[in-house]
Structure 1
């Protein structure tokens, strides 16, 4: 079988790179897999029996810029005009501890394939003939949309515990809502080991899973196996139902998948627990803020615009003005009543929050004494402007003219 002709195989500089490696190279992994599935190829990876120093020397001799991104593990990166290409020397594992591996370089293609995780990720293709090399029936698994570990699932997971998360991500992305029994049981049995991994790696895989088109089946199975007990402590009992409702709404209203939005659906209702989970996963401050904006809880601290939204007393655009349109849309998809959902989303369609047309300096010019009272007064005026539907400047001027700015003793 051959790889179908694709634009990515004609990227600028790629032929020169292959030529510099003297034909001792094969495309591997996602680029091969995704091309066979008719999906977009973003990253191109190449495997070679040549040693990393030799690869770098050859590429530099061909005037191709190359950097040693992971040279201890055999990986260098060629910087081509249409994007980077990773070149990795064939390897075999010498030892593993579930978090990292000690490797030795190899010249055996099958040996290198055997150390990969899933059969569909162990496909090679010759850059010139496009002939596919399949050592573990990955082509059949790809055709059947079956996610299967190479060899023993338990052994592959013992080598790298993060493969538990990768299994469910690949199940969501490529599977057909069918479990491979051995793989699922091995993941469930080893779930406790997730606690030994860096929180950043686990969070990264979780967000990638949630960003797939429809993660409901995979996440549901993770909940069934209590795998989330080792990722998100105290997952809400309704987490699966919340995610199911959210994805259904996304599909109905043509909302693009959002890992942040779906993460909110899985979190418990308690604000303190929400914050603790975000910190335990060592999420970036930017991501923590994004989660907080989308988490109206029943506890004290719910922002007034969110509270009013669900009492139906304020226009959704007031919320969007405070949080941003994207966050407001997410809140509506997550929490609004079914009957109100279409109208609320319609109010946000193609709407851009206006700029508040007044500054503290203008209030001082009108006689307000500089100091904290300026900020308080400006906030009061802004809220009135919002409550009146982001009124025009004439209304705002008349409103401000009616205020008393005379000094108070």
Structure 2
């Protein structure tokens, strides 16, 4: 039997590749004759860099950049040398998890470190970029990132704007003549499932500002500053459309990418599935295995396991999913390509214990083993 495993990370426990290895271990215990292929899986969010880079034979690079509060932080991104591709997650440099809760305030947080990561990748020959854009702590419209790439944002006296959304308050002039020349050669695929515009009641300030620690009184002000920024940007770039779906992603980083770089916003799952050529493996498989940390009704809303199941069904392949936990409404997944799913928790244990990598690996391997023993038993029954 040929089995393809493409399982998303069990966040806080196992990476995509670690989860896949655990499933393979359980399968081979039950049936050593199985031919098992593990493929990386992610949805463009946390874990995408590791899944794509290591799963496609690339290398990880660590560098020091400015974090969201302007402090030094270590960021990791991936490089695929053969295709001159860099794989980034903006959360590595501008993520909300990098900011203590008591210090969260988008007036002060910057996306500058994201630009430093891009600059480093460009200097190493990368011209193709895959960028996961979720989990930001910022609402600066991406000007921090653009400043790191050579764009100038100046106040009325000609001084560079300070970091954070508060810098936009004094924006008077934009200069593009010192922008990194190599950017013209670069292509950006932005993994983004957010459709919010830059401004307005559905814009980044109103919708995501409160989650990032914004005071309600300052939200309308940030919205006005971003609107002015968009208007000035329009003088240089025809693509500077604040109403474009996704322009409000990551505090306006979506707008910055769409306006100032050669970028397209795409479903994170679709990018990963295409880049890893998963369909090439599935078409020759007998069975496909997927899964994620928690399987529920939201899984069918374009999350990674449903993307895998969709490809499998194009080739008429059965699909099994494993999950750390499942909700009652997870049965909706059965109508979206997942033929059967199995929670891996096998005994009553504290959540902290269940989340330990060692425990999660054991539970995943043991569950996979028993499922494949059942499949073997079913084959014997069919023979009778």
Q: What band does the TM-score fall into relative to the shorter chain?
A: under 0.3
Q: Which has the higher contact order (CA 8 A, sep 6+)?
A: 2
TM-score with structure 2 length normalisation? 0.27
Q: Considering fraction of residues, name the structure with more strand.
A: 2
Q: Considering fraction of residues, name the structure with more helix.
A: 1
* Larger-gyration structure (1/2): 1
TM-score with structure 1 length normalisation? 0.25
